[in-house]
Structure 1
């Protein structure tokens, strides 16, 4: 039975799936604003007029975007002036939120079980590799199911 957290994860993964392909798009060297403006054969003066700014201010905006020093609100404003929608978001490196949680759960479970097993070995009570792997998998599944906050420590 799925709990509320699992349902939220599934819903977010469905929304983010649409962006997986776009994550492969590289930002142009001069930034999107400059690239789109020049592709549209629009001058800085013309874009400036739409934004109520000078040609020099548009140049600064383009430079700040290329350096990654521009605000999201400014990008939205420029998008509106270009009659385009500004899109912003994050896409998981490993394909989905579920995979991200699974990998982190396995990492945390391994850390906990190996630390505990080390202490048990010192007392001559360590467990074998097969039992160790089973214990790691069981704990990882439990951590994944609960999505513990400690997962992100």
Structure 2
């Protein structure tokens, strides 16, 4: 039977695969609300009417979005008023969730094994590079399998 945590990671990676190119999208300087509204040649008054807000309230929404101080719910409301879907999420900077876990597990395993090996060297019991690398790989596999919380320290 497959590891449940591994299966969850694979499923999340499949869901996020559709958004890989989203990382290439740059947020417009004035924010999406302003950019879409002006591209559609819609006035603040017109958007305000759709949201039952004033022109000034729309200006505040645009300013807050541009400075990152807007709520997700407000962006959803604006999206609905513009007859658009609001999409929100996280995607890994490099690769997949699985590759992120692999990288973190390898770094943690390396840290643990090298620290232990250093202590063993002091007692004249250090191990060679080949054995060291094998031990790191085995520990990394165990860390990934167990998805230890220490992975994120």
TM-score range, shorter chain: over 0.9
TM superposition shift of 1:23: 1.5
State the Cα deviation string for residues 34-76 of structure 1 (Å, max 9, x = none).
0000011100000011111111110011011001110000000
Q: How does 1:58-69 map to 2 (within 5 A)?
A: 58-69=58-69
SS in 2 for 1:69: coil
Corresponding position of 1:89: 89
Question: 1:57 maps to what in 2?
Answer: 57
Q: Equivalents in 2 of 1:72, 1:144: separation in Å?
A: 33
Cα distance in 2, alignment partners of residues 120 and 41 from structure 1: 71
Shift of 1:3: 1.2
Indicate the residue corresponding to 1:33 in structure 2: 33
Give the number of equivalent residue pairs: 153
Moved beyond 2 Å, runs of 4+:
none
Question: Which residue is equivalent to 1:120?
Answer: 120
SS class of match (1:21): helix
Structure 1 alignment gaps of length 5 or more: none
1:1-153 pair list within 5 angstroms: 1-153=1-153
Deviation track 1:74-123 (CA, whole Å, cap 9, x = no partner) reads 00010011011100000011211100000000000000000101111111
> How big is the alpha-carbon RMSD for the aligned residues of Structure 1 and Structure 2?
0.8
Gaps of 5+ in 2: none
Counterpart-to-counterpart distance in 1, 2:74 and 2:85:
13
Counterpart CA distance in 2 for 1:72 and 1:78 is: 10
In the TM superposition, residue 142 of structure 1 has moved relative to its aligned partner by 1.1
> CA separation in 1, counterparts of 2:75 and 2:66?
12
1:22 offset after TM fit, Å? 1.4
